[in-house]
Amino acid sequence: MLLIPKYKNINQYLQSPLIPFFVALIIALYNIRIGISLSPDSHRYIAAANGLINADFNYLLFFDNYHLERFLPVIFPISLIAILKTIFPLAWMPFFVTINILFLFITIFFLQKAMLFLKINSIVATICISTLLLSVDYLTWPRYILTDTIYTSLSFLLIYLTIGIRDVNFRKILIWLLCFILLALTRQVCIPILAVSLILMLTHKITLNGRAMLILFLAVFLTSAFLFSITILTLSNKTILPYSAQVIDYINFAKSGVIIHHRPETYMTISYDILGFMKLFCTRFIHFFNPYAISFSGIHILFNSFISVIYFLGLTAPIWTWIHMTNIQKQYFIKLNIFICTIAIFHSATLIDFDWRYRFPAITLMILVGAISLHSMVKKSTIFKLNQN
């Protein structure tokens, strides 16, 4: 029988681990009910795991037979699959999904911890955490034999540790470094998260100014769009391309006006010049946050829209409520948006996947941004009512 601890008031219930536990439990049960799922990438990871087992976990021998640059960035999940296949040959898939669910619990638990640290209003925090129940990503990827859930969890842990750093000591650095390395060995697309984490860690004593960071974002965004255009034009003009097949694919995607991979209805016709490719880059950036696709069901669009609305409110509310945020909340707000925008810029320059999988790590960050701003709106409203009385 599940024993629920007794608290003196509703606020203590809302601030207890019960909220993230039940939210994670509902998401986990939903995924378990549908059952284990595989994708083409799943089969690629399983084949690589079999290769690692055949090499008796000799990583030097494994990388002699497999592409180092292709499999080193995902060696953590591949190793995990290989270990589970060795220990549980017939039941390794359910154990892998169980590990996904464990990481799911960890993510939501630390999301609440971040909100408690920021002293977010308990009701606002509960509403925002519960919004994960409407996240298509959280209702989809935990049941897959893929890196997505582990990658998202490690991303949030690293970001949580990075932004939360106040003073540096050996223990904190060791934990941060462990997260950093595990994330680097989990997914190729972690590059923007690793880069921003490292920069913010090295500059953790610097207080960021909101207006200055907005100007810097615009400068970085336009510079990224310009460099993307120059790069595509330069590489396209080469008669012989001594590049990997993946790089050639990215060039062809840009020249074909691909916005969302394998969604032709999103493709656009562009001019083969700097302005044309800059337009493509900007359109991709907007689509990274787009909750709509023609093939999505009504419920899918509705669920996606909840996350988008919370984030949109999170971005716009500070125009009126910035003064009501604490300094720590302001720093969290700025740094979270740096991560979100950097992830979006990176994928605008490379690829936005058919299922928007690459947006998965940004979902939790978007909800936390929304929670900070909604809290400031509640605070402003409370102060206004007190002044009226």
Question: Which of the four pLDDT bands, split at 50, 70 and 90, describes residue 237?
Answer: confident
| 113 or 388, which is more confident | 113
CA 96, 183, 164 angle in degrees (round to 5)? 115
Does residue 110 sit in the same domain as residue 41? yes
Tell me, what amino acid is at 249? D
Does residue 132 sit in the same domain as residue 64? yes
Decide if 40 is inside a domain: yes
pLDDT at 4 over 70: no
269-300 per-position pLDDT tens digit: 999 999 999 999 999 999 999 988 888 888 98
End-to-end CA distance of the chain: 48
Q: Are 353 and 361 in contact (CB under 8 A)?
A: no
Q: What is the pLDDT of residue 14?
A: 76
Q: What is the pLDDT of residue 212?
A: 94
Does residue 309 sit in the same domain as residue 162? no
Does residue 180 sit in the same domain as residue 220? no
Decide if 180 is inside a domain: yes
- Name the domain count of the chain: 2
Q: What is the pLDDT of residue 389?
A: 62
Query: Which letter does DSSP use for residue 12 in this model?
Result: H
Q: What is the pLDDT of residue 5?
A: 63
pLDDT at 239 over 60: no
Q: What is the pLDDT of residue 384?
A: 65
Does residue 217 sit in the same domain as residue 191? no
Does residue 24 sit in the same domain as residue 74? yes
Does residue 215 sit in the same domain as residue 181? no
325-359 per-position pLDDT tens digit: 999 999 999 999 999 999 999 999 999 999 999 99
Does residue 185 sit in the same domain as residue 160? yes
d(C-alpha 179, C-alpha 158), whole Å: 6
Q: What is the pLDDT of residue 67?
A: 82
- Inter-CA distances, 173 with 109, 154, 183, 187, 201, Å: 21, 16, 15, 22, 10
Does residue 161 sit in the same domain as residue 116? yes
Decide if 41 is inside a domain: yes
Q: Are 355 and 209 in contact (CB under 8 A)?
A: no
Domain range for residue 104? 11-205
From 169, 188, 205, the end of a domain falls on: 205
pLDDT at 53 over 60: yes
183-199 per-position pLDDT tens digit: 999 999 999 999 999 99
Q: Are 151 and 183 in contact (CB under 8 A)?
A: yes
Decide if 389 is inside a domain: yes
From 177, 205, 233, the end of a domain falls on: 205
Does residue 183 sit in the same domain as residue 238? no
Structure tokens at 127: 């509403």
From 176, 205, 234, the end of a domain falls on: 205
d(C-alpha 301, C-alpha 186), whole Å: 29
Question: Which of the four pLDDT bands, split at 50, 70 and 90, describes residue 210?
Answer: very high
d(C-alpha 318, C-alpha 316), whole Å: 6
Question: What percentage of the chain carries pLDDT values higher than 70?
Answer: 94
The pTM of the full predicted model, rounded to 2 decimals, is: 0.94
Q: Are 349 and 281 in contact (CB under 8 A)?
A: yes
* Residue 187 backbone class (left: φ over 0; alpha: ψ -120 to 50; beta: rest): beta
Question: What percentage of the chain carries pLDDT values higher than 90?
Answer: 79
If you average pLDDT over residues 48-58, what whole number do you get?
96
